[in-house]
Structure 1
């Protein structure tokens, strides 16, 4: 069991969920109620989690 790979997968999933939520907020908001702060926070956190999770999974070597 490789703990780094599991943590990388969890980060990747959190990043995907956050990016999907940011896209959903963007698509459902009207012009008057668009919350820019929420979009930016979830978008940046989602991108950060996604990239770090993918990087962690890629750089971790399988050793048995």
Structure 2
């Protein structure tokens, strides 16, 4: 597997985790201790990581 694809997969997984943490913080579930305004930060960072990872995986070509 290509290094760019591996890094893209890692970014995508981190993005999914950030989106979940932001959503749980916004709904105040799980005892994360985030206010509604503070939960926006992990959500936005998660979105950036998610779309960057998807774009990296999608645009990187496979080599045999």
Range into which the TM-score falls when normalised by the shorter chain: 0.7 to 0.9
- Structure 1 portions without partners, runs of 5+: none
3-state DSSP class of the match of 2:38? helix
Name which structure has the greater RCO, CA cutoff 8 Å, separation 6+. Answer: 1
TM-score, length basis structure 2:
0.84
Q: How big is the alpha-carbon RMSD for the aligned residues of Structure 1 and Structure 2?
A: 1.8
Supply the distance in 2 between the matched residues of 1:35 and 1:24 (Cα, whole angstroms). Answer: 10
Paired residue total: 61
| Higher helix proportion (structure 1 or 2) | 1
TM-score, length basis structure 1:
0.84
Quickly say closer, same or farther: Cα 1:63–1:43, change in 2 above 3 A: same
Supply the distance in 1 between the matched residues of 2:16 and 2:55 (Cα, whole angstroms). Answer: 14
Which segments of structure 1 move beyond 3 Å, counting only runs of 4 or more? none
Say which one has the larger Rg: 1
**Structure 1 residues 17-32: aligned runs within 5 Å:** 17-28=17-28
